[in-house]
Structure 1
Amino acid sequence: MTKAFGEDTVNVKRVGIIGVGEIGRAIVTGLCDGGDTSPEVFLSPRGARTAAELSERYEGVQVCAANQVVVDRSELVIIAVRPHDRSEALAGLRVDDDKIVVNVMTGVGNDDLRRMLATDAPLVRAIPLPAIRERASVTVTCPSHPVVDSLFDHLGGVLPVEDEAAFNVFSALTGTLTTHYWYVATLTSWAVGRGVPSDVADRYVRSLFQGVGRALSDESRSLHQLAGDHETPRGNNERIRTTWFTAANAEALGRALDDLVAHLESR
Protein backbone atom coordinates (compact mmCIF):
# COMPACT_ATOMS: atom_id res chain seq x y z
CA MET A 1 0.00 0.00 0.00
CA THR A 2 1.39 3.42 -0.97
CA LYS A 3 1.86 5.76 1.97
CA ALA A 4 0.59 9.30 1.83
CA PHE A 5 3.35 11.86 1.71
CA GLY A 6 4.67 12.59 5.17
CA GLU A 7 3.25 9.44 6.78
CA ASP A 8 5.96 8.02 9.05
CA THR A 9 8.40 10.52 7.52
CA VAL A 10 10.00 13.86 8.31
CA ASN A 11 7.54 16.02 6.43
CA VAL A 12 8.47 18.88 4.12
CA LYS A 13 5.65 21.06 2.88
CA ARG A 14 7.32 23.19 0.17
CA VAL A 15 9.73 21.74 -2.41
CA GLY A 16 11.44 23.76 -5.12
CA ILE A 17 13.05 22.37 -8.27
CA ILE A 18 15.50 24.34 -10.40
CA GLY A 19 15.91 22.61 -13.75
CA VAL A 20 12.79 20.74 -14.86
CA GLY A 21 14.09 18.02 -17.16
CA GLU A 22 13.54 14.26 -17.04
CA ILE A 23 14.57 13.88 -13.41
CA GLY A 24 12.68 16.98 -12.29
CA ARG A 25 9.56 15.67 -13.99
CA ALA A 26 9.99 12.25 -12.34
CA ILE A 27 10.35 13.81 -8.89
CA VAL A 28 7.21 15.92 -9.31
CA THR A 29 5.23 12.92 -10.57
CA GLY A 30 6.41 10.74 -7.69
CA LEU A 31 5.52 13.40 -5.14
CA CYS A 32 2.10 14.24 -6.55
CA ASP A 33 0.71 10.94 -7.89
CA GLY A 34 -1.00 8.34 -5.76
CA GLY A 35 -1.06 9.98 -2.34
CA ASP A 36 -3.71 11.75 -0.32
CA THR A 37 -1.36 14.63 0.46
CA SER A 38 1.67 16.06 -1.30
CA PRO A 39 3.88 19.10 -0.76
CA GLU A 40 3.55 22.33 -2.68
CA VAL A 41 6.05 22.24 -5.54
CA PHE A 42 7.64 25.34 -7.06
CA LEU A 43 9.30 24.98 -10.45
CA SER A 44 11.86 27.17 -12.15
CA PRO A 45 11.12 28.65 -15.58
CA ARG A 46 13.94 26.49 -17.01
CA GLY A 47 12.34 23.66 -18.97
CA ALA A 48 9.30 25.87 -19.52
CA ARG A 49 7.24 23.37 -21.53
CA THR A 50 7.64 20.57 -18.97
CA ALA A 51 7.07 22.94 -16.06
CA ALA A 52 3.85 24.27 -17.62
CA GLU A 53 2.61 20.73 -18.29
CA LEU A 54 3.21 19.69 -14.67
CA SER A 55 1.52 22.79 -13.25
CA GLU A 56 -1.55 22.08 -15.38
CA ARG A 57 -1.66 18.44 -14.26
CA TYR A 58 -1.20 18.97 -10.51
CA GLU A 59 -3.02 21.54 -8.43
CA GLY A 60 -0.16 22.07 -5.97
CA VAL A 61 2.53 22.70 -8.61
CA GLN A 62 3.41 26.26 -9.61
CA VAL A 63 5.85 27.69 -12.14
CA CYS A 64 7.82 30.64 -10.75
CA ALA A 65 9.05 33.64 -12.68
CA ALA A 66 12.67 33.21 -11.57
CA ASN A 67 14.97 30.78 -9.77
CA GLN A 68 15.22 33.12 -6.79
CA VAL A 69 11.46 32.92 -6.31
CA VAL A 70 11.73 29.11 -6.26
CA VAL A 71 14.32 29.31 -3.47
CA ASP A 72 12.43 31.92 -1.46
CA ARG A 73 9.19 29.93 -1.45
CA SER A 74 10.71 26.53 -0.65
CA GLU A 75 11.99 24.72 2.41
CA LEU A 76 13.93 22.20 0.32
CA VAL A 77 15.44 23.10 -3.06
CA ILE A 78 16.46 20.46 -5.63
CA ILE A 79 19.05 21.66 -8.14
CA ALA A 80 18.67 19.56 -11.28
CA VAL A 81 20.20 21.70 -14.02
CA ARG A 82 22.72 20.19 -16.45
CA PRO A 83 26.22 20.53 -14.98
CA HIS A 84 27.50 22.74 -17.80
CA ASP A 85 24.54 25.12 -17.30
CA ARG A 86 25.07 25.59 -13.57
CA SER A 87 27.03 28.84 -13.71
CA GLU A 88 24.35 30.58 -15.73
CA ALA A 89 21.42 29.04 -13.82
CA LEU A 90 22.77 29.68 -10.32
CA ALA A 91 24.56 32.99 -10.79
CA GLY A 92 23.57 35.46 -8.06
CA LEU A 93 21.23 33.00 -6.36
CA ARG A 94 20.77 33.73 -2.63
CA VAL A 95 20.16 30.66 -0.48
CA ASP A 96 19.48 31.32 3.22
CA ASP A 97 21.10 29.02 5.74
CA ASP A 98 17.73 27.62 6.89
CA LYS A 99 17.08 26.06 3.48
CA ILE A 100 18.02 22.49 2.50
CA VAL A 101 19.66 22.06 -0.90
CA VAL A 102 19.66 18.77 -2.81
CA ASN A 103 22.30 18.55 -5.53
CA VAL A 104 21.42 16.07 -8.29
CA MET A 105 23.93 17.44 -10.83
CA THR A 106 26.17 14.63 -12.08
CA GLY A 107 29.83 15.15 -11.24
CA VAL A 108 29.32 18.37 -9.26
CA GLY A 109 30.54 17.98 -5.69
CA ASN A 110 29.04 19.71 -2.68
CA ASP A 111 32.17 21.81 -2.09
CA ASP A 112 31.91 23.16 -5.63
CA LEU A 113 28.22 23.95 -5.19
CA ARG A 114 28.76 25.55 -1.78
CA ARG A 115 31.37 27.91 -3.23
CA MET A 116 28.99 28.83 -6.03
CA LEU A 117 26.03 29.50 -3.74
CA ALA A 118 28.07 31.01 -0.87
CA THR A 119 25.70 29.48 1.69
CA ASP A 120 25.96 27.52 4.92
CA ALA A 121 22.71 25.68 4.20
CA PRO A 122 22.88 21.87 4.37
CA LEU A 123 23.88 20.43 0.98
CA VAL A 124 23.06 16.83 0.07
CA ARG A 125 24.01 15.04 -3.15
CA ALA A 126 21.52 12.55 -4.58
CA ILE A 127 21.19 10.17 -7.53
CA PRO A 128 17.46 9.97 -8.29
CA LEU A 129 16.53 7.81 -11.29
CA PRO A 130 13.50 8.15 -13.57
CA ALA A 131 11.71 5.22 -11.85
CA ILE A 132 11.05 7.44 -8.84
CA ARG A 133 8.02 8.61 -10.78
CA GLU A 134 6.49 5.25 -9.84
CA ARG A 135 8.17 5.31 -6.41
CA ALA A 136 10.14 2.28 -7.53
CA SER A 137 13.80 3.26 -7.33
CA VAL A 138 16.32 3.55 -4.49
CA THR A 139 18.08 6.93 -4.35
CA VAL A 140 21.64 7.27 -3.06
CA THR A 141 22.25 10.36 -0.89
CA CYS A 142 25.40 11.92 0.58
CA PRO A 143 25.66 12.87 3.36
CA SER A 144 22.67 11.52 5.23
CA HIS A 145 20.08 14.15 6.16
CA PRO A 146 16.77 13.26 7.85
CA VAL A 147 14.55 15.46 5.68
CA VAL A 148 16.21 14.53 2.38
CA ASP A 149 16.38 10.84 3.23
CA SER A 150 12.72 10.90 4.21
CA LEU A 151 11.77 12.54 0.92
CA PHE A 152 13.52 9.92 -1.19
CA ASP A 153 12.39 7.07 1.04
CA HIS A 154 8.86 8.12 0.10
CA LEU A 155 9.88 8.01 -3.57
CA GLY A 156 10.96 4.37 -3.50
CA GLY A 157 13.74 4.03 -0.96
CA VAL A 158 16.95 5.72 0.13
CA LEU A 159 20.57 4.56 0.48
CA PRO A 160 22.62 7.15 2.41
CA VAL A 161 26.42 7.10 2.13
CA GLU A 162 28.71 9.24 4.25
CA ASP A 163 31.48 10.25 1.83
CA GLU A 164 31.72 11.36 -1.77
CA ALA A 165 34.19 8.58 -2.67
CA ALA A 166 31.45 6.00 -2.07
CA PHE A 167 28.92 8.27 -3.75
CA ASN A 168 31.06 8.35 -6.91
CA VAL A 169 31.09 4.53 -7.01
CA PHE A 170 27.29 4.51 -7.09
CA SER A 171 27.31 7.28 -9.67
CA ALA A 172 29.57 5.15 -11.87
CA LEU A 173 27.22 2.16 -11.48
CA THR A 174 24.36 4.39 -12.60
CA GLY A 175 26.40 5.15 -15.72
CA THR A 176 25.89 1.57 -16.94
CA LEU A 177 22.13 1.93 -17.54
CA THR A 178 22.20 2.85 -21.22
CA THR A 179 24.78 0.10 -21.82
CA HIS A 180 22.13 -2.36 -20.66
CA TYR A 181 19.56 -0.85 -23.03
CA TRP A 182 22.08 -0.98 -25.87
CA TYR A 183 22.82 -4.64 -25.10
CA VAL A 184 19.13 -5.44 -25.31
CA ALA A 185 18.79 -3.44 -28.54
CA THR A 186 21.75 -5.33 -30.01
CA LEU A 187 20.05 -8.66 -29.28
CA THR A 188 16.95 -7.43 -31.08
CA SER A 189 19.00 -6.28 -34.08
CA TRP A 190 20.73 -9.67 -34.22
CA ALA A 191 17.37 -11.47 -34.32
CA VAL A 192 16.16 -9.15 -37.09
CA GLY A 193 19.32 -9.97 -39.03
CA ARG A 194 18.42 -13.64 -38.76
CA GLY A 195 15.04 -13.02 -40.37
CA VAL A 196 12.77 -12.36 -37.36
CA PRO A 197 10.36 -9.45 -37.97
CA SER A 198 11.43 -6.35 -36.04
CA ASP A 199 8.24 -5.99 -34.01
CA VAL A 200 8.28 -9.67 -33.04
CA ALA A 201 11.94 -9.57 -31.98
CA ASP A 202 11.34 -6.36 -30.02
CA ARG A 203 8.33 -7.81 -28.20
CA TYR A 204 10.12 -11.01 -27.25
CA VAL A 205 13.36 -9.40 -26.05
CA ARG A 206 11.45 -6.86 -23.96
CA SER A 207 9.44 -9.67 -22.37
CA LEU A 208 12.60 -11.69 -21.75
CA PHE A 209 14.31 -8.94 -19.79
CA GLN A 210 11.19 -7.79 -17.98
CA GLY A 211 11.28 -11.27 -16.49
CA VAL A 212 14.88 -10.70 -15.44
CA GLY A 213 13.79 -7.50 -13.71
CA ARG A 214 11.13 -9.36 -11.74
CA ALA A 215 13.66 -12.03 -10.71
CA LEU A 216 15.94 -9.31 -9.33
CA SER A 217 13.29 -8.43 -6.76
CA ASP A 218 14.00 -11.76 -5.02
CA GLU A 219 16.60 -10.56 -2.53
CA SER A 220 16.76 -13.94 -0.79
CA ARG A 221 19.21 -15.07 -3.50
CA SER A 222 22.52 -13.42 -4.39
CA LEU A 223 23.06 -12.20 -7.93
CA HIS A 224 25.45 -15.08 -8.58
CA GLN A 225 22.83 -17.51 -7.26
CA LEU A 226 20.23 -16.03 -9.59
CA ALA A 227 22.58 -16.52 -12.53
CA GLY A 228 23.32 -20.11 -11.48
CA ASP A 229 19.65 -20.91 -11.03
CA HIS A 230 19.00 -19.85 -14.63
CA GLU A 231 21.75 -22.09 -16.04
CA THR A 232 22.08 -25.80 -16.69
CA PRO A 233 25.49 -27.44 -17.19
CA ARG A 234 26.52 -27.18 -20.86
CA GLY A 235 23.22 -25.42 -21.59
CA ASN A 236 22.54 -22.38 -23.76
CA ASN A 237 22.91 -19.77 -21.01
CA GLU A 238 26.19 -21.22 -19.77
CA ARG A 239 27.52 -21.35 -23.33
CA ILE A 240 26.90 -17.66 -24.02
CA ARG A 241 28.15 -16.56 -20.61
CA THR A 242 31.42 -18.46 -20.84
CA THR A 243 32.15 -17.69 -24.50
CA TRP A 244 31.14 -14.01 -24.58
CA PHE A 245 31.27 -12.68 -21.00
CA THR A 246 34.81 -13.88 -20.37
CA ALA A 247 37.23 -12.84 -17.61
CA ALA A 248 38.79 -10.37 -20.06
CA ASN A 249 35.35 -8.91 -20.78
CA ALA A 250 34.68 -8.51 -17.04
CA GLU A 251 38.08 -6.88 -16.50
CA ALA A 252 37.43 -4.43 -19.34
CA LEU A 253 34.14 -3.44 -17.71
CA GLY A 254 35.91 -2.95 -14.39
CA ARG A 255 38.53 -0.72 -16.04
CA ALA A 256 35.82 1.36 -17.71
CA LEU A 257 34.15 1.88 -14.32
CA ASP A 258 37.49 2.75 -12.68
CA ASP A 259 38.10 5.34 -15.39
CA LEU A 260 34.65 6.82 -14.84
CA VAL A 261 35.22 7.08 -11.07
CA ALA A 262 38.57 8.81 -11.72
CA HIS A 263 36.78 11.26 -14.04
CA LEU A 264 34.10 11.97 -11.43
CA GLU A 265 36.70 12.51 -8.70
CA SER A 266 38.62 14.97 -10.87
CA ARG A 267 35.67 17.29 -11.46
Structure 2
Amino acid sequence: MTSIGFIGVGEIASAMVEGLARSEADDAHASGLRFFLSPRNADRAKHLAESLEAATVCDSNQDVVDRSELIVLAVLPQQAAAVLDELDIPADRTLISAVAGLATDQLAEHLPHSPTIVRIIPLPAVRERKGVTAMYPANQAVEEILGRLGGSVTAADETLFSTLSAVTATMSAHFAFLQSITAWLVDQGWEQADADHFIRGQFVGLGTTLAETDTPIKELVADHETPGGLNEQLNHEWMDEANRGRLAAALDAIYARVTGAAD
Protein backbone atom coordinates (compact mmCIF):
# COMPACT_ATOMS: atom_id res chain seq x y z
CA MET A 1 0.00 0.00 0.00
CA THR A 2 1.28 3.44 -0.95
CA SER A 3 0.38 6.52 1.06
CA ILE A 4 0.17 9.83 -0.79
CA GLY A 5 -0.26 13.12 1.01
CA PHE A 6 -1.60 16.32 -0.52
CA ILE A 7 -0.67 19.68 0.93
CA GLY A 8 -3.11 22.02 -0.72
CA VAL A 9 -6.35 20.50 -1.97
CA GLY A 10 -7.31 22.69 -4.89
CA GLU A 11 -8.61 21.73 -8.31
CA ILE A 12 -5.47 20.00 -9.55
CA ALA A 13 -4.89 18.05 -6.33
CA SER A 14 -8.52 16.96 -6.33
CA ALA A 15 -8.22 15.85 -9.96
CA MET A 16 -5.16 13.75 -9.06
CA VAL A 17 -6.90 12.11 -6.08
CA GLU A 18 -10.05 11.32 -8.07
CA GLY A 19 -8.04 10.00 -11.02
CA LEU A 20 -5.94 7.77 -8.79
CA ALA A 21 -9.06 6.51 -7.03
CA ARG A 22 -10.53 5.60 -10.43
CA SER A 23 -7.36 3.73 -11.31
CA GLU A 24 -7.76 1.68 -8.14
CA ALA A 25 -11.35 0.86 -8.98
CA ASP A 26 -10.44 -0.19 -12.53
CA ASP A 27 -7.44 -2.34 -11.60
CA ALA A 28 -8.30 -5.61 -9.89
CA HIS A 29 -4.62 -6.13 -9.07
CA ALA A 30 -4.04 -2.67 -7.57
CA SER A 31 -1.95 -2.77 -4.41
CA GLY A 32 -3.96 -0.04 -2.72
CA LEU A 33 -3.47 3.68 -2.27
CA ARG A 34 -4.20 5.83 0.74
CA PHE A 35 -4.71 9.58 0.43
CA PHE A 36 -3.98 11.98 3.27
CA LEU A 37 -5.33 15.47 2.72
CA SER A 38 -4.31 18.71 4.36
CA PRO A 39 -7.00 20.77 6.06
CA ARG A 40 -6.33 23.60 3.57
CA ASN A 41 -9.47 24.15 1.50
CA ALA A 42 -11.52 22.33 4.11
CA ASP A 43 -14.72 21.99 2.05
CA ARG A 44 -12.98 20.31 -0.89
CA ALA A 45 -10.94 18.02 1.38
CA LYS A 46 -14.09 17.05 3.29
CA HIS A 47 -15.91 16.25 0.04
CA LEU A 48 -13.10 13.96 -1.11
CA ALA A 49 -12.95 12.19 2.25
CA GLU A 50 -16.71 11.65 2.25
CA SER A 51 -16.78 10.33 -1.31
CA LEU A 52 -13.61 8.21 -1.22
CA GLU A 53 -13.05 5.56 1.43
CA ALA A 54 -9.27 5.76 0.93
CA ALA A 55 -9.10 9.51 1.64
CA THR A 56 -8.57 11.03 5.08
CA VAL A 57 -8.44 14.69 6.12
CA CYS A 58 -5.49 15.22 8.45
CA ASP A 59 -5.28 17.57 11.42
CA SER A 60 -2.41 19.59 9.95
CA ASN A 61 0.08 19.72 7.11
CA GLN A 62 2.67 18.07 9.36
CA ASP A 63 0.22 15.25 9.99
CA VAL A 64 0.06 14.77 6.21
CA VAL A 65 3.86 14.51 6.08
CA ASP A 66 4.03 12.08 9.00
CA ARG A 67 1.50 9.71 7.40
CA SER A 68 2.67 9.80 3.78
CA GLU A 69 5.50 8.31 1.73
CA LEU A 70 4.90 10.62 -1.23
CA ILE A 71 3.92 14.22 -0.54
CA VAL A 72 2.32 16.34 -3.26
CA LEU A 73 2.82 20.05 -2.70
CA ALA A 74 0.00 21.84 -4.54
CA VAL A 75 -0.10 25.40 -3.25
CA LEU A 76 0.34 28.77 -4.93
CA PRO A 77 3.96 29.75 -5.67
CA GLN A 78 3.85 32.66 -3.24
CA GLN A 79 2.66 30.33 -0.47
CA ALA A 80 5.20 27.53 -0.94
CA ALA A 81 8.10 28.92 1.11
CA ALA A 82 5.95 29.67 4.15
CA VAL A 83 4.24 26.28 3.97
CA LEU A 84 7.52 24.35 3.69
CA ASP A 85 9.21 26.36 6.46
CA GLU A 86 6.56 25.13 8.89
CA LEU A 87 7.17 21.46 8.04
CA ASP A 88 9.69 18.84 9.07
CA ILE A 89 10.01 16.59 6.02
CA PRO A 90 12.38 13.64 6.65
CA ALA A 91 15.03 12.56 4.17
CA ASP A 92 13.20 9.32 3.36
CA ARG A 93 10.16 11.11 1.91
CA THR A 94 9.61 12.21 -1.68
CA LEU A 95 8.25 15.70 -2.20
CA ILE A 96 6.33 15.97 -5.48
CA SER A 97 6.04 19.65 -6.30
CA ALA A 98 3.16 20.80 -8.47
CA VAL A 99 4.08 24.42 -7.72
CA ALA A 100 4.61 26.40 -10.90
CA GLY A 101 7.86 28.26 -11.40
CA LEU A 102 9.80 27.07 -8.34
CA ALA A 103 12.97 25.19 -9.29
CA THR A 104 14.30 22.27 -7.29
CA ASP A 105 17.10 24.35 -5.78
CA GLN A 106 14.57 26.95 -4.60
CA LEU A 107 12.49 24.23 -2.97
CA ALA A 108 15.59 22.62 -1.43
CA GLU A 109 16.36 25.83 0.46
CA HIS A 110 13.32 25.09 2.63
CA LEU A 111 14.02 21.36 3.08
CA PRO A 112 16.93 20.96 5.52
CA HIS A 113 16.75 17.14 5.59
CA SER A 114 17.10 16.93 1.79
CA PRO A 115 14.20 14.67 0.84
CA THR A 116 13.89 13.62 -2.80
CA ILE A 117 12.31 16.39 -4.89
CA VAL A 118 10.38 15.72 -8.10
CA ARG A 119 8.62 18.47 -10.04
CA ILE A 120 5.45 17.73 -12.02
CA ILE A 121 2.96 19.63 -14.18
CA PRO A 122 -0.38 17.84 -13.74
CA LEU A 123 -3.25 18.97 -15.99
CA PRO A 124 -7.01 18.75 -15.35
CA ALA A 125 -7.35 15.68 -17.62
CA VAL A 126 -5.69 13.52 -14.94
CA ARG A 127 -9.14 13.32 -13.36
CA GLU A 128 -10.23 11.17 -16.34
CA ARG A 129 -6.81 9.46 -16.39
CA LYS A 130 -6.05 11.06 -19.76
CA GLY A 131 -3.49 13.65 -18.72
CA VAL A 132 0.15 13.38 -19.76
CA THR A 133 2.15 14.85 -16.88
CA ALA A 134 5.58 16.40 -17.22
CA MET A 135 8.10 15.42 -14.56
CA TYR A 136 11.71 16.15 -13.57
CA PRO A 137 13.89 14.40 -12.63
CA ALA A 138 13.19 10.75 -13.40
CA ASN A 139 11.76 8.87 -10.43
CA GLN A 140 10.28 5.39 -10.66
CA ALA A 141 7.76 5.72 -7.83
CA VAL A 142 6.41 9.00 -9.19
CA GLU A 143 6.36 7.66 -12.74
CA GLU A 144 4.24 4.72 -11.59
CA ILE A 145 1.75 7.07 -9.95
CA LEU A 146 1.58 9.27 -13.05
CA GLY A 147 1.14 6.18 -15.19
CA ARG A 148 -2.19 5.65 -13.45
CA LEU A 149 -3.26 9.14 -14.52
CA GLY A 150 -2.53 8.89 -18.23
CA GLY A 151 1.24 8.69 -18.40
CA SER A 152 4.17 11.07 -18.19
CA VAL A 153 7.10 12.57 -20.06
CA THR A 154 10.39 13.10 -18.24
CA ALA A 155 12.50 16.16 -19.02
CA ALA A 156 16.22 15.60 -19.39
CA ASP A 157 16.93 18.78 -17.42
CA GLU A 158 15.06 21.55 -15.63
CA THR A 159 15.35 23.93 -18.58
CA LEU A 160 13.37 21.54 -20.78
CA PHE A 161 10.89 21.01 -17.96
CA SER A 162 10.25 24.75 -17.92
CA THR A 163 9.42 24.75 -21.63
CA LEU A 164 6.56 22.34 -20.92
CA SER A 165 5.43 24.57 -18.07
CA ALA A 166 5.34 27.47 -20.54
CA VAL A 167 3.16 25.72 -23.11
CA THR A 168 0.51 24.88 -20.50
CA ALA A 169 -0.30 28.60 -20.65
CA THR A 170 -1.95 28.00 -24.04
CA MET A 171 -5.11 26.34 -22.69
CA SER A 172 -7.29 29.43 -22.26
CA ALA A 173 -6.04 30.75 -25.62
CA HIS A 174 -7.31 27.53 -27.21
CA PHE A 175 -10.80 28.26 -25.90
CA ALA A 176 -10.44 31.92 -26.87
CA PHE A 177 -9.82 30.72 -30.43
CA LEU A 178 -13.12 28.82 -30.33
CA GLN A 179 -14.81 31.82 -28.71
CA SER A 180 -13.66 34.02 -31.60
CA ILE A 181 -15.11 31.58 -34.13
CA THR A 182 -18.47 31.44 -32.36
CA ALA A 183 -18.47 35.25 -32.10
CA TRP A 184 -18.08 35.43 -35.89
CA LEU A 185 -21.08 33.12 -36.32
CA VAL A 186 -23.13 35.31 -33.96
CA ASP A 187 -22.13 38.36 -36.00
CA GLN A 188 -23.51 36.56 -39.08
CA GLY A 189 -26.87 36.12 -37.36
CA TRP A 190 -26.69 32.88 -35.37
CA GLU A 191 -27.93 32.64 -31.80
CA GLN A 192 -25.09 32.21 -29.30
CA ALA A 193 -26.38 28.84 -28.03
CA ASP A 194 -26.60 27.40 -31.55
CA ALA A 195 -23.16 28.72 -32.48
CA ASP A 196 -21.65 27.19 -29.31
CA HIS A 197 -23.42 23.89 -29.97
CA PHE A 198 -22.13 23.64 -33.54
CA ILE A 199 -18.52 24.56 -32.69
CA ARG A 200 -18.46 22.11 -29.78
CA GLY A 201 -19.53 19.37 -32.15
CA GLN A 202 -16.92 20.38 -34.70
CA PHE A 203 -13.98 20.36 -32.32
CA VAL A 204 -14.86 17.52 -29.93
CA GLY A 205 -13.94 15.01 -32.63
CA LEU A 206 -10.52 16.59 -33.00
CA GLY A 207 -9.89 16.02 -29.32
CA THR A 208 -10.80 12.37 -29.78
CA THR A 209 -8.30 12.14 -32.63
CA LEU A 210 -5.57 13.47 -30.35
CA ALA A 211 -6.53 11.07 -27.58
CA GLU A 212 -6.90 7.92 -29.66
CA THR A 213 -4.07 8.17 -32.19
CA ASP A 214 -0.33 8.68 -32.06
CA THR A 215 -0.16 10.39 -35.43
CA PRO A 216 2.39 13.25 -35.27
CA ILE A 217 0.60 16.56 -34.87
CA LYS A 218 2.34 17.93 -37.96
CA GLU A 219 0.75 15.13 -39.97
CA LEU A 220 -2.68 15.83 -38.48
CA VAL A 221 -2.51 19.29 -40.03
CA ALA A 222 -2.06 17.77 -43.49
CA ASP A 223 -4.68 15.09 -42.80
CA HIS A 224 -7.30 17.77 -42.15
CA GLU A 225 -6.78 19.83 -45.28
CA THR A 226 -6.67 19.23 -49.01
CA PRO A 227 -4.55 21.19 -51.51
CA GLY A 228 -6.47 24.28 -52.49
CA GLY A 229 -9.21 23.48 -49.96
CA LEU A 230 -10.94 25.64 -47.38
CA ASN A 231 -8.97 24.36 -44.40
CA GLU A 232 -5.68 24.98 -46.19
CA GLN A 233 -6.80 28.50 -47.12
CA LEU A 234 -7.69 29.48 -43.55
CA ASN A 235 -4.56 27.86 -42.13
CA HIS A 236 -2.28 29.72 -44.53
CA GLU A 237 -4.09 33.04 -44.23
CA TRP A 238 -4.45 33.05 -40.46
CA MET A 239 -1.51 31.01 -39.16
CA ASP A 240 0.97 32.84 -41.37
CA GLU A 241 4.60 33.61 -40.55
CA ALA A 242 3.68 36.78 -38.65
CA ASN A 243 1.13 35.05 -36.42
CA ARG A 244 3.46 32.12 -35.77
CA GLY A 245 6.11 34.61 -34.78
CA ARG A 246 3.74 36.37 -32.36
CA LEU A 247 2.83 33.05 -30.78
CA ALA A 248 6.50 32.10 -30.39
CA ALA A 249 7.24 35.50 -28.86
CA ALA A 250 4.37 35.09 -26.39
CA LEU A 251 5.70 31.66 -25.40
CA ASP A 252 9.19 33.16 -24.98
CA ALA A 253 7.71 35.70 -22.57
CA ILE A 254 5.89 32.99 -20.60
CA TYR A 255 9.06 30.91 -20.47
CA ALA A 256 11.02 33.90 -19.16
CA ARG A 257 8.40 34.36 -16.43
CA VAL A 258 8.41 30.67 -15.51
CA THR A 259 12.19 30.57 -15.20
CA GLY A 260 12.45 33.93 -13.43
CA ALA A 261 14.35 35.51 -16.30
CA ALA A 262 11.66 38.18 -16.61
CA ASP A 263 12.34 39.52 -13.09
Instruction: Give the TM-score normalised by structure 2.
Output: 0.93
> Structure 2 CA distance, aligned partners of 1:189 and 1:83?
35
Residue from 87, 90, 103 that aligns with 1:93: 87
> Structure 2 CA distance, aligned partners of 1:109 and 1:99?
18
Residue type at the aligned position of 1:26: A
1:29-108 equivalences in 2 (<5 Å): 29-33=18-22, 34-35=25-26, 36=28, 37=30, 38-108=32-102
1:13 maps onto 2:7 in alignment: no
Structure 1 gap ranges (5+): 1-11
Report the CA distance between 1:220 and its aligned residue: 5.1
Structure 1 outlier segments of 4+, above 6 Å: none
> Structure 1 CA distance, aligned partners of 2:234 and 2:182?
16
Fraction of identical pairs, as percent: 37
Structure 2 gap ranges (5+): none
Q: Does the residue aligned with 2:110 lie in a helix, a strand or coil?
A: helix
2:11 match: 22
Report the CA distance between 1:88 and its aligned residue: 3.1
Residue type at the aligned position of 2:183: S
**Cα RMSD, aligned residues only:** 1.5
The verdict on how the C-alpha distance between 1:162 and 1:228 changes in structure 2, with shifts beyond 3 A counting, is closer
1:206 match: 200
> Structure 2 CA distance, aligned partners of 1:254 and 1:234?
27
Residue from 231, 240, 244 that aligns with 2:234: 240
1:144-159 equivalences in 2 (<5 Å): 144-159=138-153
Q: Does the residue aligned with 2:227 lie in a helix, a strand or coil?
A: coil
2:127 match: 133
1:225 match: 219
> Structure 2 CA distance, aligned partners of 1:60 and 1:215?
34
Q: Does the residue aligned with 1:176 lie in a helix, a strand or coil?
A: helix
Q: Does the residue aligned with 2:190 lie in a helix, a strand or coil?
A: coil
> Structure 2 CA distance, aligned partners of 1:110 and 1:127?
14
The verdict on how the C-alpha distance between 1:111 and 1:244 changes in structure 2, with shifts beyond 3 A counting, is same
> Structure 2 CA distance, aligned partners of 1:19 and 1:118?
21
Instruction: Return 191-200 or 100-109, whichever deviates more.
Output: 191-200
> Structure 2 CA distance, aligned partners of 1:57 and 1:130?
19
Report the CA distance between 1:173 and its aligned residue: 1.3
Residue type at the aligned position of 1:205: I
1:190 match: 184
> Structure 2 CA distance, aligned partners of 1:142 and 1:221?
26
Residue from 103, 108, 117 that aligns with 1:114: 108
Residue type at the aligned position of 2:243: N
> Structure 2 CA distance, aligned partners of 1:53 and 1:220?
36
Report the CA distance between 1:218 and its aligned residue: 5.5
Report the CA distance between 1:211 and its aligned residue: 1.1
Q: Does the residue aligned with 1:32 lie in a helix, a strand or coil?
A: helix
Report the CA distance between 1:145 and its aligned residue: 0.5
> Structure 2 CA distance, aligned partners of 1:118 and 1:179?
40
Report the CA distance between 1:55 and its aligned residue: 0.3
> Structure 2 CA distance, aligned partners of 1:225 and 1:213?
15
Residue type at the aligned position of 2:230: N
> Structure 1 CA distance, aligned partners of 2:9 and 2:214?
38
Residue type at the aligned position of 2:196: D
